[in-house]
Amino acid sequence: MHNIVVPPSTAYTSVSRWHRLLAVGLTCASLTSGCVASSRAGDASPSIKILVTYHSLAGNTERMAEAVVAGARSVAQSQVVLKRVGQVTADDLFSADAVVVGSPVYWSNMSGEVKTFFDNWQFKFGVFPEFKMKNKVGAAFATGGQVSSGKEVTMLTILAAMLGNQMIVVSDGGAFGASATTEGDSSGIDDRELADARALGRRVAEVTKLVRAGSSH
């Protein structure tokens, strides 16, 4: 057997090269691990809180509100609070990432209870001058007795109040939100109208998650 003699300089060079390769490998592994962890963290969608609030005497707007809640809850990590407008507190309002407001049509407009709710944003809760509702997502739904009874006007006045507070308004199921015709030729809220309300809730949750994800970067 022949002994192979490695010159000292060659041995040193080989060991150094091995050390360098090992260091590069460990660095790459560390970076890869960090990238994967970062990617997984980025994939985790933020949890959101949605307030659905309404006024209802006959129960029709309440049924629509419950459908909106069901749609919002179908989106992962969505916490949904359902309250009548008179029960909403400052904490309910300001802790929510989105607010969906529903009203029956009274004299071709929103009900007095819903109007008082919006007035209380300032008079009870003090949204100005800081614009405390700014960049929260907002949406509207309405119920009315006849086809042309004022449902669009009602939803538009709700959205106008939200826009005045610099909120981000969305819709689904209809141009301005979800609505239902409850009298006349209608036997009450039908499956299509409830589906529109669920679609509105789902849309609000989806957009709210996008807004929250964008604001976290």
What integer pLDDT is reported at residue 217 of this predicted model?
Answer: 61
| Residue-range domain boundaries for the chain | 1-44, 48-215
The beta-strand segments (E) located in the chain are: 48-54, 78-84, 98-104, 137-144, 168-169, 178-181
- Tell me yes or no: is domain 48-215 CATH 3.30.420.40: no
Per DSSP, 167 falls in state -
d(CA 133, CA 99): 9
Residue 88 has a pLDDT of 98
Query: How many whole angstroms separate alpha carbon 199 and alpha carbon 177?
Result: 10
Distance CA 201, CA 123 (A): 28
Evaluate whether 156 touches 176 at the Cβ level (below 8 Å): yes
CA distances from 46 to 96, 97, 179, 209, 217 (A): 13, 11, 29, 7, 12
Instruction: Map 62-122 to HEC letters.
Output: HHHHHHHHHHHHCCCCEEEEEEEHHHCCHHHHHHCCEEEEEEECECCECCHHHHHHHHHHH
Give pLDDT, residue 44.
Answer: 63
| Radius of gyration of the chain from its Cα atoms, rounded to whole angstroms | 28
| Weakly modelled stretches of the chain, pLDDT under 50 | 1-2, 4-16, 18-19, 21-43
pLDDT score recorded for residue 174:
84
Query: The pTM is what?
Result: 0.79
Return the pLDDT at 173: 66
